[in-house]
Structure 1
């Protein structure tokens, strides 16, 4: 299992948390959103899903993934 922290702009409430965590969960990964830090920490199996797919799933929910 791998863990990555992704910086995401546009999240502000529990609906945002549920949207992002739900989208990542559908890929077979788990996510923990930190609204105050604007981060999503994702634990995933690199043999089943890529970081790119995770970022795409977050962006499809209407949020901006920011490269730091």
Structure 2
């Protein structure tokens, strides 16, 4: 399970775009997006970098991990 901080996510449209980008990268992924905390949790077998790239390409680059 991966957790991404998405500071550029600010509305319901953003949630839909993030979900779509992740599902396009891995159709079988479990995706939970929380607008209030601006995070996405993804259960996927793909590497984290692949999912990060999909988010960045959609316009929602994840914040660097702390």
Name stretches of at least 5 consecutive residues in structure 1 with no aligned partner. none
**Structure richer in helix, relative to its length:** 2
Moved over 2 A (4+): none
- The structure 2 residue matched to 1:10, chosen from 2, 8, 23, is 8
Q: What residue is the counterpart of 1:33 in the other structure?
A: 33
Name stretches of at least 5 consecutive residues in structure 2 with no aligned partner. none
> What is the TM-score normalised by the length of structure 2?
0.85
**Structure richer in strand, relative to its length:** 1
Aligned residues: 63
> Does the residue aligned with 1:33 lie in a helix, a strand or coil?
strand
